[in-house]
């Protein structure tokens, strides 16, 4: 079950990324100066391509949660259990983000006047990405996850956290700009890359062995007999 869920999650991540990329590149958006979500506005010819891709990414996150849950079954590891919950939440908010589309330009405060749909869409997108970044940290600090899985989480979180902070700061100080557009795309690339790499690792081997194969075992104490 773990291997199958992880394999399908990887396929969904690839398919979703391709669909969203196609919609963003071929759509009528303003390029790097705009948000990725602008490819999904109702007036776009690629709206359904974009939304289908986002739904596929939501499925990838949910299947990743299923795969990770199967791996931690019967193990006392709060960190990975938190990761499972965060991935499930990220999947739900990703679905909400795709369901509630923003208006033209996807305006957001404080520099633009936003509608209720814009705020819901923006909040759902932010929560979804934040949940995935927190999942990276949870996996990174898991005491029973294999070293490659933890390392993937550490590297991804080390890149994602500064990007997320830079996006938040740029949106507050600059607003809609090419800077925010580039940073947003980089952050989403890290999120999808981590999900794909984690899914592949879950499909290949059991991720919840505390010690890597080949590691030296702890020697058993020797009992000395009196002569």
When the pLDDT of each residue in the chain is averaged and rounded to a whole number, the result is: 88
Q: Tell me, what's the pLDDT at 211?
A: 44
Residue 52 backbone zone (phi > 0: left; psi -120 to 50: alpha; other: beta)? alpha
Q: Which residues contact 224 (CB under 8 A, 6 or more apart)?
A: none
**Domain parsing of the chain, residue ranges:** 2-204
Tens digit of each residue's pLDDT (9 = 90 or more) over 159-214: 999 999 999 999 999 888 899 999 999 999 999 999 999 999 999 887 666 444 44
pLDDT for 126 beyond 90: yes
**Torsion sign across C-alpha atoms 21, 23, 28, 33:** negative
Give pLDDT tens digits for 42-86. Answer: 788 889 999 999 999 999 999 999 999 877 766 767 899 999 999
- For the stretch 89-117, pLDDT in tens is 999 999 999 999 998 888 989 889 999 99
Judge if pTM exceeds 0.75: yes
What is the per-residue pLDDT for 210?
Answer: 45
The alpha helices in the chain, defined as continuous H runs, are 2-26, 47-72, 78-99, 116-140, 147-173, 178-204
pLDDT score, position 207: 67
The pLDDT tens digits of the residues spanning 136-163 come to: 999 999 988 889 999 999 999 999 999 9
């Amino acid at each position: 079950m773990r291997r199958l869920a992880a394999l399908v999650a990887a396929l969904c991540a690839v398919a979703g990324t391709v669909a969203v990329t196609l919609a963003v590149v071929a759509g009528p958006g303003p390029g790097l100066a705009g948000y990725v979500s602008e490819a999904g506005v109702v007036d776009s010819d690629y709206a359904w391509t974009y939304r289908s891709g986002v739904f596929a990414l939501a499925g990838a996150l949910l299947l990743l949660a299923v795969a990770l849950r199967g791996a931690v079954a019967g193990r006392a590891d709060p960190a990975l259990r938190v990761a499972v919950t965060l991935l499930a939440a990220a999947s739900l908010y990703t679905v909400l983000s795709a369901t509630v589309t923003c208006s033209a330009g996807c305006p957001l405060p404080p520099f633009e006047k936003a509608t209720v749909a814009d705020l819901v869409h923006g909040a759902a997108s932010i929560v979804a990405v934040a949940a995935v970044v927190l999942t990276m940290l949870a996996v990174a600090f898991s005491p029973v996850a294999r070293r490659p899985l933890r390392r993937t989480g550490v590297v991804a979180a080390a890149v994602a956290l500064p990007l997320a902070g830079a996006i938040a700061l740029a949106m507050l100080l600059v607003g809609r700009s090419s800077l925010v557009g580039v940073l947003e795309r980089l952050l989403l690339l890290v999120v999808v890359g981590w999900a794909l790499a984690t899914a592949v690792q879950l499909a290949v081997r059991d991720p919840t062995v505390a010690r890597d194969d080949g590691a030296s075992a702890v020697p058993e104490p020797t009992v000395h007999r009196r002569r």
